[in-house]
Structure 1
Amino acid sequence: MVRRVASQVHQQVSRLMRANYIQKEPAWFNAVLDNPPLNLPPKSPPPRTAYDVKPPKSKLKAHSTRPLPIYYLEDDIRRQFFKDHPFEAFRPTTLVESDKIENAHPVTGDKWTRLRQRGRNPTSDDAVKFCLNLYQHHGLSLSDAYTTSVAQYRALRSEHHISTTFAVQEAQFLGSTFGPSEIETSLNLQKKALQTWSRKEELDEGAIAARKRWKAIVEKSHGRGQWSKGEEYVRLWQEGVRPNYMPALTEPVKVDSAAIPSR
C-alpha cells in the first residue's frame, strides 16, 4: 500500500475496499469513521471558509514588540523628595544584601499614622513609604500626604541632629577623643595631592635633563650680553692671536706622573 499520512489511512482503506482489494473490513474502520482524525497534518494550513475569504471590515492594529512602561507611584514621590532635599542623596547607606529577604515591618497600613513609629532616625525611603501609606490607607490627597510626611521627616532629622551634637559635646567634656571624620580625611588627602603640583615643574625639568644625557645643557641666560658684533674677533686678529675653538684637541695632553705606576 502506498505510504499515506496517518490521518488519511481510513480514506485509503475505503478506496481499497471499493476496489475489492481488501475483502474483509478492518475492526477499527467504523470507529475511525465515527471519530475521524484531523484531515490535515499539523503544519499544513487549515482550509479557508467563506467567512475567511471575505475582506475584514477594519484593519487590526499590529501589536508592538516593545515592553510596556513600568510605573510606580513611589518613583514620582521619590523624585520630588530628592528635588526638595538634594543633600539627602549624599547620606551614606549600605548596599549589602543579606542572605534572606527582610520581613515586612509590622506597623503598616491603617496602623501607621506617625513616621516616628518606624524609628527616630528615618531614612528617605521611610519618608516615601509613609507618604504612600497616607495616600492609600488614610484617604489623604497625594499633596497633603507628601506635606505631612516631609514635615515629620524634617522634625525627626532635626531632633536626631541636636541630640547627636549634645552627645558628642558631653563625650568630649568627659575626656573622649574622636579621630578625623571622613570629610577631614578626604580634605587631608586633597591637600597632599595639591602639594605635589608645586613640585611638578621641578620634576619635569629633571626629566628633560635626564633625556638630554649626551647633549649640552645650557642655561637660558648663557651668552646674553657677550656678543661684540665681531669687534673682539678683529682685535685678536690684528694682534696676531690665532683663534682656537677646540682647545681640547689642539693643546698637548698633560700627563700626571703620580698617576703612572712605577715598575
Structure 2
Amino acid sequence: MGRHDLRPLRVLHTANQLFTAARIKNLPPWHSVVESIPPAQALVRTQPVQHTPQTRPRKTKARKASKLFKPTNITYREDRLRRDFFGDHPWELARPRVVLENDGKDYEGNDWSKISQPGRPVTGESVIQRQMWLLKNVHNMKKASAYDQARKEFYKLRLHEDVRRRVAKEEALATGAYFHKSALEVGMEIEDKQYEEWKKWAIKQTKETEQRQNAMYTGQDNQSMDLSPDDPETEAGLEEISDILPAQGQSALGGAQAIPASQGVEAMENFAFGR
C-alpha cells in the first residue's frame, strides 16, 4: 500500500466482491449512494503541508501532563530578606498590621533613605525596605552590613517607643488612672490555674495507683500494722485482749493439736480411701 492508505477508496469494490461471493446476503444501505457518487481519486493536496521543525533538544525531559499548567513560582529579592529578618525576630509577626492602601501608589511617597516614614509605623517591613535601599544606593554595601545597619536603626526606634510608652503609663498612674491586667499577667493566671488542677489530678492518680498496688497483696500493709504504744486507741485495744493473752511464763491453751507431717498424710489417705 506504500505511504498512502487506499482502503477507504476500495469500499465499494470490496462490498461488490463480498455480495458476489455470497459472503453477505444484502448490499449495505450506502451502496447505491457511493456507486452514484464515488469518492475522489486525487490524492494530491492543493497546498503542501508544512512541517514545523523540532526545536526542543532531545535530552530535555518532557514535563508531565499534570504539571503542564502549573504556574511558575514568582520570587522577589525581598522574600529572602523577609525570611532572614522574621526568622531572627519571630515575635514581629504577632504585631497587628494594616495592609490597606489609599490609592495603590503609597510606595511612591516613601523615602527609604531613613527607616522612619511619616504617618507609617516602624515594622519589620521597614527594615526590609531600608536594607534594599542600602544595597541599591550604597556602593560595595554587602547584604550582612546592610542588614546590621537597618536592624540597629530599627532597635533604636523601638527603644524610644518603649520609653515613651512607659513614661506615659507612669504619668497616667500618678494621676489616678487604672489599667487592667496585661496579657502576660492573664496568661500567668491561666497557667497557674491549670497547674493546680493538674496537681489535684496527679495526687488522685497517685492514690489510686497505691491502692491498686496494695490490693495485689493478700495481707495488710505493713505500715497499717504499726502500733504506737503512746496511741490511746492502742492502749484501749490491749486492755480488751489482756484477759485472753497468756501471762509471762504461761503456755497457750486451746487451738489445734500439732501432729507430725507423716501422720497427717496417712490420715488424709485413710479418709480418701475409706479405710
Partners of 2:77 and 2:90 lie apart in 1 by 19
Q: Deviations over 1:213-251 (max 9, x none)?
A: 9x99954413358xxxxxx89x9x9543348xxxxxxxx
Q: Deviations over 1:143-192 (max 9, x none)?
A: 35434422332222122111111111111111111111111111122222
Q: Structure 1 residues 101 and 219 mapped into 2: Cα distance closer, same or farther (>3 Å)?
A: farther
Superposed displacement of residue 207, structure 1: 4.2
TM-score by length of 2: 0.50
Partner of 1:152: 153
Superposed displacement of residue 206, structure 1: 5.3
Alignment of 1:55-74 (within 5 A): 60-63=59-62, 71-74=75-78
Contact 1:131–1:145 under 8 Å retained in 2? yes
Q: Deviations over 1:93-137 (max 9, x none)?
A: 348x99x8875452448844322115463111221133224434x
Q: Does residue 120 of structure 2 align to residue 127 of structure 1?
A: no
Partners of 1:185 and 1:217 lie apart in 2 by 51
Partners of 2:78 and 2:254 lie apart in 1 by 98
Letter in 2 for 1:135: L
Contact 1:135–1:142 under 8 Å retained in 2? yes
Q: Does residue 184 of structure 2 align to residue 183 of structure 1?
A: yes
Partners of 2:223 and 2:185 lie apart in 1 by 46
Partners of 2:210 and 2:84 lie apart in 1 by 59
Letter in 1 for 2:191: Q
Partner of 1:75: 79
Partner of 1:204: 205
Pick aligned residue for 1:35 from 46, 54, 68: 46
Alignment of 1:1-263 (within 5 A): 35=46, 60-63=59-62, 71-82=75-86, 86=88, 88-91=89-92, 92-94=94-96, 104=104, 106-108=106-108, 111-117=111-117, 119=119, 121-136=121-136, 138=137, 140=139, 141-143=141-143, 145-204=146-205, 207=208, 218-224=220-226, 238-242=251-255
Partners of 2:206 and 2:60 lie apart in 1 by 73
Contact 1:127–1:149 under 8 Å retained in 2? yes
Letter in 2 for 1:223: M
Partners of 1:77 and 1:184 lie apart in 2 by 34
Contact 1:120–1:156 under 8 Å retained in 2? no
Contact 1:121–1:157 under 8 Å retained in 2? no
Give 3-state SS (helix, strand or coil) of 1:117's partner.
coil
Q: CA RMSD in A?
A: 5.4
Letter in 2 for 1:161: D
Q: Structure 2: which 5+ residue stretches go unaligned?
A: 11-33, 228-244, 257-275
Letter in 2 for 1:170: E
Contact 2:111–2:117 under 8 Å retained in 1? no
Partner of 2:13: none
Partner of 2:22: none
Of structures 1 and 2, the one scoring higher in RCO (CA 8 A, sep 6+) is 1
Give 3-state SS (helix, strand or coil) of 1:187's partner.
helix
Q: Equivalent pairs: percent with the same residue?
A: 17
Q: Structure 1 residues 135 and 105 mapped into 2: Cα distance closer, same or farther (>3 Å)?
A: farther
Contact 1:115–1:149 under 8 Å retained in 2? yes
Q: Structure 1: which 5+ residue stretches go unaligned?
A: 13-21, 39-45, 53-57, 226-231, 244-263
Kindly tell me the number of residue pairs found equivalent between the two proteins.
202
Q: Deviations over 1:184-219 (max 9, x none)?
A: 111122222333344345412554699899x99954
Q: Structure 1 residues 70 and 131 mapped into 2: Cα distance closer, same or farther (>3 Å)?
A: same
Letter in 2 for 1:62: K
